[in-house]
Amino acid sequence: MRTGSSRGSLRVLGIDPGLTRCGVGVVDVAPDRSAQLVHVGVVRSDADAPIEERLAVIAAGLRAVLEAHGPDVVAVERVFAQHNRQTVMGTAQASGIALLIAGERGIPAATHTPSEVKAAITGYGNADKRQVQTMVARVLRLEELPKPADAADALALALCHAWRGAPAASGRSSSPLTPAQRAWADAERLARR
């Protein structure tokens, strides 16, 4: 991974792929694993448009985010089996577009499963959407939960990737838990009292 030397942090673009709504989130993550929101949004395509037009809209939207924010790395949700074949196909196609665009620009890309992301953000691989949104808001010091869920998931992907690959800051605890996982564990301990 290359780091943005002018920023002193790693800039990660997280992408929650989808044909109708493709979540995008950009965060700067410092060596101490603290994070700052740079951009969050959703690239939308018309569900009634032909597939090639929908993919072109997704590609244009992702290219615009890459151009505007210059991430060091791209993290994309790994496609997993679902019961709805149509949804899986659309997600896989959007994921392919995201990985292709990163490759075109020579930006390293990685994929993470939803359970990997949930575990990194909340400490629990089966966390629900609300728990993920809450922890993302807490980590990024947001006044409101990021919405829609696609955008929150994109931010969670970006944080997951940075934390999984970022070394612990010197002089800090070598705990295997991310800041979000520590915060979640602390909150649960307090709740049990």
* Numbered residues of the known binding site for Mg(2+): 16, 77, 150
Distance CA 104, CA 15 (A): 16
Distance CA 95, CA 77 (A): 7
Catalytic residue (one of 28, 72, 77, 153): 77
Three-state SS for 46? coil
Annotated binding site: 16, 77, 150
Tell me how crowded residue 120 is: count the other CB atoms within 10 A of its CB.
23
Q: Is 77 among the catalytic positions?
A: yes
120: which residues sit within 8 A by CB, 6+ positions away?
Answer: 112, 156, 159, 160, 163, 164, 178, 180, 181
DSSP states of 117-184 as a string? HHHHHHS-TT--HHHHHHHHHHHTT-SS--SSHHHHHHHHHHHHHHHHHSPPPTTS---SS-HHHHHH
Q: Is 16 among the catalytic positions?
A: yes
Q: Is 144 among the catalytic positions?
A: no
Catalytic residue (one of 46, 52, 143, 150): 150
Q: Which residues are annotated as catalytic?
A: 16, 77, 150
